[in-house]
Amino acid sequence: MSGNAFGHLFRFTTFGESHGPAIGCVVDGVPSRIPLSEADIQVWLDQRKPGQNRFTTQRREADEVKILSGVFEGLTTGTPIGLLIENTDQRSKDYGDIKDTYRPGHADWVYQQKYGIRDYRGGGRSSARETAMRVAAGAVARAVLNALVPGGVSLRGAMVQMGPHAIDRTRWDWAETRTNPFWCPDAAAAQHWEGYLDGIRKAGSSIGGIVEVVAEGVPVGLGAPVYDKLDADLAKAMMSINAVKGVEIGAGFDAAALTGEDNADEMRMGADGKVNFLSNRAGGILGGISTGQDVVVRLAVKPTSSILTPKKSVDAHGAEVEVSTKGRHDPCVAIRAVPVAEAMMACTLADHLLRFRAQSGGF
Ligand SMILES: Cc1cc2nc3c(=O)[nH]c(=O)nc-3n(C[C@H](O)[C@H](O)[C@H](O)COP(=O)(O)O)c2cc1C
């Protein structure tokens, strides 16, 4: 199976299955002498890890990362960075009843068709367990960005819609994302979501959501026209996350309803001699190149497909069956997609930063 690596100069390759002994990744291309420790990575993994509240899967994983290579005396050496997390809570028996049946909306059937064999335990390689390694690689990418970009890059994610219930953007407060279980920047919306998601969870159902990631401090000039535009690579990065079905940058799909006047990000000279944009409908990217404004990406995440409610499916013997998944799962996977989306943004920006240095020699 190819397709397990992402990026060009900052490149990571992940391996491992949901119920194998471990998952891991190799991050290649990291410049030398960048400070990096296990604690720098662990802090981000702790945000993604399951079982933190009743709205995420009760699978108990410590998600403790080990650095196997590429770091010496607290600094990167320029050699491949090997990272490993042992799987400690694999209850394969939970999945025994889907061994020969295919969950509607999951990858079971296509994996079987394509490879003729599949590790059905917890979805094997198609499980979002793999996203832990994206978060680990993302932590390395953050270290690269913060070491090489003067002033650093701030990368933050939030959930802005659960099912049909969107936040009120006038109430946006980043500090709120740390105080509720949904990364929700609107305190009132978070309170409403709590009751709403409890109902979904108790009914054995699931619901989708929209995640937004904002990167501040991105320098002008990242992105390589024409096929490696920054927005094209961000779309690929986000679309590669499990359960993501749509990606938009800046005004995104709403831009289709705007006039040219409304959509134009007008420009003026600032007192400091720098160009000021009067709005940011472009989401910080023009012509595939970063403008220096905030880079803003949103992703639509579908509802968890493994649900208790019985759904029509077929089995490996060609019989029509009903599937109900009794294993542990998240009623809204968009919540745990937030740190993963931040990580994919970090990896994409770090890759383009190194490519920018290679071509243009820095800032
Ligand atoms: C953080 C995260 C956790 C997930 N947990 C589950 C889960 O518990 N059960 C499930 O059916 N899908 C879960 N998914 C989604 C599946 O991995 C995904 O739907 C599946 O691999 C099929 O891929 P696709 O939806 O991108 O087509 C999760 C996704 C993310 C991002």
Least confident residue range of 60-64, 136-140, 144-148, 149-153: 60-64
Q: How far apart are CA 127 and CA 328, in angstroms?
A: 12
Return the closest-CA partner of residue 234 out of 152, 90, 117, 343: 343
Residues 207-244 pLDDT 10s: 999 999 999 999 999 999 899 999 999 999 999 999 99
Could you count the other beta carbons within 10 Å of the beta carbon of residue 355? 19
Degrees, nearest 5: CA angle 168-169-172: 105
Which among 55, 242, 307 is the best mutation to test ligand 1's pocket, defined by most ligand atoms within 8 Å of the CB?
A: 242
Q: How far apart are CA 359 and CA 226, in angstroms?
A: 15
| Mean local confidence (pLDDT), 58-82 | 92
Q: What pLDDT sits at residue 89?
A: 75
The proportion of the chain whose per-residue pLDDT surpasses 90, expressed as a percent, equals: 88
Nearest CA, atom 11, ligand 1: 306
Backbone angles phi, psi at 288, to 5 degrees: 85, 5
Question: Using N-to-C axis directions, what is the helix angle for 38-48 and 334-360, rounded to 10°?
Answer: 140
53, pLDDT greater than 90: no
Q: How far apart are CA 342 and CA 5, in angstroms?
A: 18
Q: What pLDDT sits at residue 62?
A: 86
33, pLDDT greater than 90: yes
Strands 154-162 and 165-166, bridge-based pairing = antiparallel
Q: What pLDDT sits at residue 96?
A: 65
From the CA of 123, how far away is ligand 1's center (Å)?
9
Least confident residue range of 96-100, 113-117, 276-280, 339-343: 96-100
Q: How far apart are CA 4 and CA 130, in angstroms?
A: 10
For residue 242 and ligand 1, the question of a CB distance below 6 A is answered with yes
Q: How far apart are CA 298 and CA 263, in angstroms?
A: 18
Contact 33, 139 (CB under 8 A): no
The proportion of the chain whose per-residue pLDDT surpasses 70, expressed as a percent, equals: 95
H or E stretch including 255? none
H or E stretch including 114? helix 108-115
What is the pLDDT confidence band of residue 122, given thresholds at 50, 70 and 90? confident
Degrees, nearest 5: CA angle 334-335-336: 95
Which among 53, 127, 306, 309 is the best mutation to test ligand 1's pocket, defined by most ligand atoms within 8 Å of the CB?
A: 127
Which among 326, 333, 338 is the best mutation to test ligand 1's pocket, defined by most ligand atoms within 8 Å of the CB?
A: 333
| Mean local confidence (pLDDT), 11-15 | 98
352, pLDDT greater than 90: yes
